[in-house]
Amino acid sequence: MRTFDPDRVLVIAIGIDEYRQSAMRLSGAAAYAERFAKWALGQGVPAKNILLACSDTDSMPDPLSGIRRWEPAQASIIDLLKDAAGRSDPERSGPEEPDLELLLMYWCGHGVLKSGRKRALFTSDAESGALRVHVVEEIRNYLSSTTVKGLDSQIIFIDACADFYNEMHLNERLVKTTLNIGNPKRVRQYVLHSTSEGQSAYHDNITRSNVFSDTVFQWLDTMPPGPLTPNIGTLNAMVTARFDLLRAADGPEQTPVWQVDDTGGTSYTLPTMFDQEGVEGIPFRYFESSYATLLEWWMDAQSFSNAEGSMLPDIREQLIAALPNDAVKTRDDNLDATELVARVFSTNQVARLFEILQSYATTASLKIGLTKLGIQWSQDLDIARVEQHFPNVTNQMVANAYWRSMLSIPADSPLCITAALRSLVGLSEREGQKPLHRFVADLEKSAKRTVPDQWFRLSSGQLKALRRDAGVSHIENRRLVIDILSSQHDLNRFESPFAIGVHCYRPGKGWVHKQPEGTLTLAEVRSKVNQLLAGGADKCVLGFRVPRAAFDEIPESWEFSDDFTAPISHWCLRPTLLHSAERMRNPRLWSNWMIKHPRIRTRLDDHPDDLLAWIERTEPETVHSLVSSSESACIGMAFAPAVNGFDLHQDPLMAAIVAGAPYILWSTYDGDNPTTTRQQVKELVTGGPFDELPARLQYRRQNAVGERQIAVRLLWDDPDLLPPQPNMLGMQGGCDD
């Protein structure tokens, strides 16, 4: 699990000592909840992000000032959950609040296993005749539904008994409530129960402690204050080891169990071998989906055999024999076949397991299901084999590689590498190459990592061609940046005579600067640009670094021609960009730009879909405020800025530049249907990898000459693509091809 900033974490802590049914009284559950809240404060989680519900006659609220408390009654807990949903909704919590990403929830108290094998937790208002409860399944479904915005990673600890209610001989009615559960959403939800079904959670009322919660807190203490990096594998190992020791010493037969929900609907229990190095030394977590399907198939096979009254094949000995020697323990004799299947699956004996399961495939449906399961497991293995070679890829790299492999990104495009691999693994070949192969080859280039050749299962020649094609999009282009200023260096005017400076970048060789020339007319400037490009520089990226006063001249559309080429606009021949000259000469503008750009690039790694923020208003003060607060990659002007008239104080484009926006799009078309322009701009920005936006714009211009697409303008001030010196004019050198 990745690292989370403390201010993006929501904590819910519930501990119940006091119940209206006096016989249910506990000692220490509320103290654990307070301890959980106090730990969160120590990690840097804001007090407003910590929700505490506990009942304890001698609890001490003072150390937890600033944290809101609820009574742990049934209705109050509903209010608490609603509050959690509200805090995770940006529209309700306020635009300045960071999006909440991780939920940590702890519940300690009495519980029971009701009819339908559903776990229920008693609330403090449980009393004779009305034992009020919350059903765990409903809480989980609520937290993993669209009712709750954000919080796509969730870890929940439940320290409560799961005794069978019908065996407790209680003549009491369980009273549950209903939560407003929305539609399922994509979520990664881990739930760790202190007990398996039918077991009691042993709690020492004298010492006010129990082993399960103590172990959880030992794991929490492994995370230093600051950014939280919850390691589920470490937690599982600590809990498993602790309870194995207790059972070996004839302690309580209590077995903590996991439940995982990774799509909002697929729920299953993890095996005891969870997160060990399993198939081919790859962690078991890569095979959770296959394991869930395996359990469903296994249960169907057993149900069919029981319904038919047929003799179940005796496969226990075969399963035990399939386990490695170091995985066999004396207590394996006490495990049922389902647990043995899980253990075999968690080792390198999957092929043997499928052989054994063939004896259970007694119907056409079961045979087809087993075949599909084999395919799914093979695909999971394929994903695991390749994903482990890309431990540090960013979401932006994934989005770029996905676009290049599919030439499109759906609205719900996968942004993490696991989701992208899963969406591509089963797709057939396209143009002789699988999209999955294209995706991986592109990641190899961007991440500078290599997957073993045998993974592709391609001939040597095919693989070389695949990697060569993937490398084309990563080839760095020549760049030519031309400074054009009035010779008096008056940034408020764009009038003759002009001075021109030239900066050439050649991949692998760096920048070369030509000495500036002055006292040129505009016609001479345009002729000079043609001369610079006449040496076969069509493959270069051309940039005009000019003051805002020159934007209305539209230098990108100036025409190139020679003895053999009819006049054609620069922006149809090559990616042609505008750069702001003011930024290179004004310390304030330079500083705002240098602060804004790295923030946007860093955010793009985790939010590659946050590409465009629209500015609807033309007032400079409003534009400056909106741009300053925006974290989106591009600023899109939802209007055609008026011709400047050299009054920079009243210009919305200049206001965006002053606020530090490195990437701005707008249109010179001021027709009666601005919706068309907005749609074109949005398609440009979202139609592929962000850094290829200039190339996409040039492609549209090239293939739609004379149409309204050429009206789109682009300011592209990426410091990494510009000469590094803050003042370029006056540099010595040459610019030879």
Amino acid at 574: R
Check: CB of residue 9 under 8 Å from CB of residue 36.
no
Is the predicted pLDDT of residue 667 greater than 90, yes or no?
Answer: no
Can you tell me whether residue 98 is helix, strand or coil? coil
Cβ contacts of residue 334 below 8 Å, gap of 6+?
none
Taking residues 15-25, what's their average pLDDT? 89
Is the predicted pLDDT of residue 545 greater than 80, yes or no?
Answer: yes
Higher pLDDT, 605 or 140: 140
By CB atoms closer than 10 A (0-12, 13-18, 19+), residue 646 is middle
Cα–Cα nearest to 636, from 621, 650, 617, 651: 617
What percent of the chain clears pLDDT 70, i.e. is strictly above it? Answer: 81
Residue 25's pLDDT band (cuts 50, 70, 90): confident
pLDDT at 206: 78
Is the predicted pLDDT of residue 1 greater than 70, yes or no?
Answer: no
Q: What is the pTM of this model?
A: 0.57
pLDDT at 653: 94
Residue 717's pLDDT band (cuts 50, 70, 90): very high
Least confident of 85-99, 455-469, 680-694: 85-99
pLDDT at 274: 43
The rounded radius of gyration (Å) of the Cα atoms in the chain is 32
Is the predicted pLDDT of residue 117 greater than 70, yes or no?
Answer: yes
Cα–Cα nearest to 63, from 87, 84, 42, 43: 42
Check: CB of residue 88 under 8 Å from CB of residue 10.
yes
Q: How far apart are the first and last CA of the chain?
A: 50
pLDDT at 238: 84
Dig out the tokens for 14 from the structure. Answer: 């519930």
Can you tell me whether residue 637 is helix, strand or coil? strand
pLDDT at 203: 81
Residue 628's pLDDT band (cuts 50, 70, 90): very high
pLDDT at 652: 93
- DSSP code at position 184: B
* Euclidean distance between CA atoms 64 and 683, whole angstroms: 50
* Alpha-carbon distance values, 69 to 54, 66, 76 (Å): 8, 9, 10
What percent of the chain clears pLDDT 90, i.e. is strictly above it? Answer: 31
* Alpha-carbon distance values, 375 to 218, 383, 457 (Å): 40, 12, 16
Label residue 28 left, alpha or beta by phi (over 0 means left) and psi (-120 to 50 means alpha). left
* Euclidean distance between CA atoms 224 and 306, whole angstroms: 52
**What are the pLDDT digits (tens) for 374-412?**
888 888 888 888 888 887 788 888 888 988 888 766 555
Taking residues 402-423, what's their average pLDDT? 75
Higher pLDDT, 521 or 265: 521
pLDDT at 433: 75
Least confident of 227-241, 259-273, 304-318, 611-625: 259-273
- DSSP code at position 642: P
